[in-house]
Structure 1
Amino acid sequence: MDLQLAGKVALVTGASAGLGRCIASMLAAEGCRMAILARRRPLLESLAAELPTSAEPLIIAEDITDPAAAPRIRDAVLGRFGRCDILVNNAGGSRPQPPGELGAEEVWQEAMELNFHAGRRLAHALVPAMQAQGFGRIINLTGQDEPHNVNAANAPNGAVHIWAKALSRQLGRDGITVNSIPPGRIHSEQIDLRVMPTEESRRAWAEREVPAGYIGQPEDLAVLAVFLASPLARYITGQVIHVDGGTRRFSH
């Protein structure tokens, strides 16, 4: 299937590792020109070296929680490519609190900045260019908003889902779609090094919680993100699509 992505310009945040790196690689393989953003420049440089020359990779080493970062990032992408067709807001992270603790104020503020405001500011900065060209795709990698415990990331995840739904309604007639993808347990730095650091713990959790029977690979989610980025996905907007091997128990 031709996803009609050749020549499109995509910006992926959190592109240095894990899901972001995989999504960037897949978009480039489909013919996108790539802007790749993260804080760790050496990892971005290694990713750029792996991409096809047609991707013309633009490396942006930025901390997106800086309120002044969004216009700088927009100007860098538009200055290089003259347009931005696809924004993948992938940068973010879980912030679970120890049992019996609620978390310091700065933890909650940081979680909201990283998981909600940073992506929102970047999307708002790029929307006018997308409107002018009559095409845009905004894809947010979020996380669960079902509170199993106190986690400072749950509230911004829910905020992204609500904001993205509202934005999709406002921008639908401009040819811009806005969707959110909450990953389940998928192999990444966060899951493999922090949440479940041993193979035994990962296997036991998957056998108990995942109907598919295993923890997903980044490619299992990236294929959805790349499809949502394509012109073929024009009628899919305002959605929250879980990629978790069936782990989520809710029917909607």
Structure 2
Amino acid sequence: MKKFGITAYVASALLAAGTVLTGAATPATAAANGGYVSLGDSYSSGVGAGNYIASSGSCNRSTNAYPYLWNAAHPSSSFNFNACSGATTDSVLGGQLSSLSSSTAFVTLTAGGNDAGFSDVMRTCILSIRSVCHDRVMAADRFIESTLPAKMDRLYSAIKAKAPNAKVVVLNYPMPYDLGSNTCAGLTNDSRYDLDEATKGMNRLISATARKYGFSVGDADYAFSYHRICNGDPWLHSLNVSDTGVSYHPTPDGQRLGYLQALNAVR
């Protein structure tokens, strides 16, 4: 099976990054000194976590989402909760950056999964035979390697330009499955491997691009260790046929104990 990765892009991005500053302000310190803006897709808006803010409409912003919880614990001079379900890098670039300015002190972001069609990848793998799943994952991987890097560059560059003084934390995506578990029904181990490897490829790109622009990376994938689908206490929803939109998204515990803790761990 083809190994997933973006080795050449990662290498060039890390070289372009030069040295990443250490000893930077923690998220709490940054927000205390200025405004906080939450950008991104459904993993930041809180799809799957319930308690949606009525005024957010189809963006499904949740009071259980990590940006809302983080701001409640570390009140800032202003809080713009812009993350929206279904957002792509292009829609974040075109519709979520107006709150950024030179006075913005703290920005968080999840983006890229919708560009690569991860929701469709997950559904395809659950509902189709192994070969169809594998082909769909390969298509997503090719997109991550060939097309998504330039989209990430445009978005991250715009964030850097609009909020030059902000500490920016980009959070990655948790791999959905624990390959060491034998309790999963419905998917072969090979299909679970494919889905996990696609997520790894996405996360490598996120890390490389973030560091290229001097942004920090919050490792949500690590925070979800032992709490993936098929573990005894999963923090991700499995496929939900009655509400497919929540499938593979963090539960309230996934937001509070996974994403929020990944953000808190950034130094």
What TM-score results when the alignment is normalised by the length of structure 2?
0.50
After the TM superposition, which residues 139-218 of structure 1 pair with which residues of structure 2 at under 5 Å, given as runs? Answer: 139-144=171-176, 148-151=189-192, 152-167=194-209, 169-171=211-213, 174=214, 176-182=215-221, 183=224, 184-185=228-229, 186=234, 190-191=237-238, 193=240, 217-218=251-252
Q: Which residue of 1 aligns with 2:68?
A: 25
CA distance in 1, matches of 2:109, 2:256: 14
Q: Secondary structure at the match of 2:172?
A: strand
Q: CA deviation at 1:38?
A: 1.4
Structure 1 residues 80 and 123: CA distance shift in structure 2, 3 A: same
CA distance in 1, matches of 2:195, 2:91: 26
What TM-score results when the alignment is normalised by the length of structure 1?
0.52
Q: CA deviation at 1:133?
A: 2.5
Residues 105-135 of structure 1 show CA distances to partners (whole Å, capped at 9, x for unaligned) of 8733665489888986664333223373352
Q: CA deviation at 1:143?
A: 1.0
Q: CA deviation at 1:86?
A: 1.2
Assess if the C-alpha contact under 8 Å between 1:111 and 1:153 holds in 2.
no
CA distance in 1, matches of 2:174, 2:82: 20
What's the Cα RMSD here?
Answer: 4.3
Q: Which residue of 2 aligns with 1:47?
A: none
Q: Which moved more, 1:106-115 or 1:74-83?
A: 106-115
CA distance in 1, matches of 2:238, 2:217: 26
Assess if the C-alpha contact under 8 Å between 2:133 and 2:191 holds in 1.
no
After the TM superposition, which residues 58-77 of structure 1 pair with which residues of structure 2 at under 5 Å, given as runs? Answer: 62=87, 64=88, 70-77=89-96
Q: Secondary structure at the match of 2:28?
A: coil
Q: CA deviation at 1:11?
A: 1.1
Q: Which residue of 2 aligns with 1:78?
A: 97
Structure 1 residues 28 and 121: CA distance shift in structure 2, 3 A: farther
Q: Which residue of 2 aligns with 1:50?
A: none
Structure 1 residues 118 and 86: CA distance shift in structure 2, 3 A: farther
CA distance in 1, matches of 2:240, 2:172: 23
Q: Give 5+ residue unaligned stretches, structure 2.
A: 1-26, 50-60, 180-187, 242-249
Structure 1 residues 148 and 180: CA distance shift in structure 2, 3 A: farther
CA distance in 2, matches of 1:117, 1:9: 29
Q: Secondary structure at the match of 2:219?
A: strand
Q: CA deviation at 1:217?
A: 4.7
CA distance in 2, matches of 1:104, 1:138: 28
CA distance in 2, matches of 1:80, 1:122: 20
Identical aligned pairs, as a percentage?
Answer: 9
Structure 1 residues 8 and 74: CA distance shift in structure 2, 3 A: same
The one-letter amino acid of 1:77's match is: Q
Assess if the C-alpha contact under 8 Å between 1:11 and 1:35 holds in 2.
yes
Residues 122-163 of structure 1 show CA distances to partners (whole Å, capped at 9, x for unaligned) of 643332233733521100123158592224533321212322
After the TM superposition, which residues 1-252 of structure 1 pair with which residues of structure 2 at under 5 Å, given as runs? Answer: 3-4=28-29, 5=31, 7-14=35-42, 15=45, 17-18=47-48, 21=62, 22-30=65-73, 31=75, 32-39=79-86, 62=87, 64=88, 70-82=89-101, 85-89=107-111, 92-93=118-119, 94-95=122-123, 96-97=125-126, 101-103=130-132, 107-108=136-137, 111-112=140-141, 123-128=152-157, 129-130=159-160, 132-133=164-165, 135-144=167-176, 148-151=189-192, 152-167=194-209, 169-171=211-213, 174=214, 176-182=215-221, 183=224, 184-185=228-229, 186=234, 190-191=237-238, 193=240, 217-229=251-263, 233-234=266-267
The one-letter amino acid of 2:253's match is: E
The one-letter amino acid of 1:76's match is: G
Q: Secondary structure at the match of 2:96?
A: helix
